[in-house]
Structure 1
Amino acid sequence: MRAQKIRPFVPSGKDFPLAVQFYTDLGFEKIFSNPQGAIFKIDETEFHLQNYHNVELQENYMLELCVQDIDAWWTHIQSTEIVSKYQVRANPPKMQPYGKRAIHLIDPAGVLWHFTE
């Protein structure tokens, strides 16, 4: 048996079109979309953005995106101005107790992304 990839289903929050635009502005490519959800891709990594709103789930949902150059991602996040545009939070790269440098980015729905190197 061999697994090829995992595609998590990420809740969009109450404003699905806003979430779609957020991920587009962040640099993900939308490869599919309908009213129920969208699929986003960056390099070989993909995820489903589900048109689903559940505050408890969203505020407890976390993803780790492993990247090659964490500092380049931080520069990119700052250059997109998504923090001010979407009123979200992002923390610069910092060494974490689990041994990786990470950027923490909370999307408009409250989902926490760990960008790690």
Structure 2
Amino acid sequence: MSNLATVETKAFVPAHDFAVSQQFYRDLGFSMASVGGGVAYFHFGGRSAFLLQDFYVAALAENLQMHLQVEDAQAWFDHVQQLDLPTRYGVRAPTPLVDQPWGMRDFAIADPSGVCWRIAQNIPGFVPVGRTTAA
């Protein structure tokens, strides 16, 4: 019988300037586990991972969204605000932290290549449509 067990799903995130993007993600708090062949492997606490690629197509980067689910979106929002990413990297300011109708509290940032990152937490006590109790 074949072993079809999966280990992990990772997205390839494009980088217009590979070195600048690497520093951006390190500044956010990601660790770069390896780099070679135009790909850098990033993770945060061993749980959230992606592959930064030395490859750029504007239409791809500007339409790609990543989702980072965290325990405390307010703490992340405060952390990102303190980094002053617009001044340091020329990116847009983070969107406000808001409660979304789909049950997540989130805000968005863009990396130097235009990739959107939604940083979110589950809203405690949120009751999804069609349910009578919280998820």
Cα distance per residue 1:35-65 (max 9 Å; x no partner)? 5120111021111000001000001100111
- Paired position in structure 2 for 1:76: 79
- Paired position in structure 2 for 1:47: 50
- Which one of the candidate residues 74, 84, 109 is aligned to 1:105? 109
- Paired position in structure 2 for 1:114: 118
Q: How does 1:25-40 map to 2 (within 5 A)?
A: 25-40=27-42
- Paired position in structure 1 for 2:10: 7
Q: Could you say which structure has the higher strand fraction?
A: 1
Query: Identity across aligned pairs (percent)?
Result: 34
Q: CA deviation at 1:2?
A: 3.9
On the 8 A contact 1:25/1:82 being kept in 2, the answer is no
- Partners of 2:102 and 2:86 lie apart in 1 by 26
Q: Is the aligned partner of 1:62 residue 2:65? A: yes
Cα RMSD, aligned residues only: 1.3
1:26 partner amino acid:
L
Query: For structure 1, which runs of at least 5 residues remain unmatched after alignment?
Result: none
Output the TM-score relative to the length of structure 1: 0.92
Output the TM-score relative to the length of structure 2: 0.80
- Partners of 2:43 and 2:58 lie apart in 1 by 25
On the 8 A contact 1:65/1:113 being kept in 2, the answer is yes
Greater gyration radius:
2
- Partners of 1:8 and 1:107 lie apart in 2 by 15
- Partners of 1:28 and 1:92 lie apart in 2 by 22
- Partners of 2:78 and 2:58 lie apart in 1 by 30
Q: CA deviation at 1:4?
A: 2.9
Number of residue-to-residue matches in the alignment: 116
On the 8 A contact 1:94/1:103 being kept in 2, the answer is yes
- Which one of the candidate residues 14, 20, 23 is aligned to 1:21? 23
